[in-house]
Amino acid sequence: MASSWTAKAARQAATVARIYSPKPTPQAGSLVQRRGLAGAADHHGPPRVNFWQDTMSPSKWKEEHFVIVSLSGWGLLFFGGYKLFSGGKKDNEEKLAEAAQ
């Protein structure tokens, strides 16, 4: 019984030694995790600003400000096009009818 325990312990020790032994491979440097979950606090590049602080440089804007301004601009473009091609003609015809009377 003691020999089976020692054999099991030896097998386990060999497995642990094999798992935790350093293996120098060329890819080992790329597999090491260098940063944990603290990556969000580490800023890279130029600091982001509010869009009203630097209106002529969209690349410096905060991401959420860029999204809001872009979506607002597209919305105004589509709504203006809709009003131009659909609603504007009706108003013009009504004004012409009133002016003719």
Q: Which one has a higher pLDDT value, 18 or 68?
A: 68
29 pLDDT above the threshold of 80: no
**Every domain of the chain and the residues it spans:** 50-101
Q: Which one has a higher pLDDT value, 97 or 51?
A: 51
pLDDT of residue 38: 59
What is the full DSSP assignment across the chain? -HHHHHHHHHHHHHHHHHHHS----TTHHHHS----GGGGG---SSPPB-TTTSTT-GGGB-HHHHHHHHHHHHHHHHHHHHIIIIIHHHHHHHHHHHHH-
pLDDT in tens, 32-84: 666 666 555 556 788 899 988 988 988 898 999 999 999 999 999 999 999 98
pLDDT of residue 27: 65
pLDDT of residue 82: 92
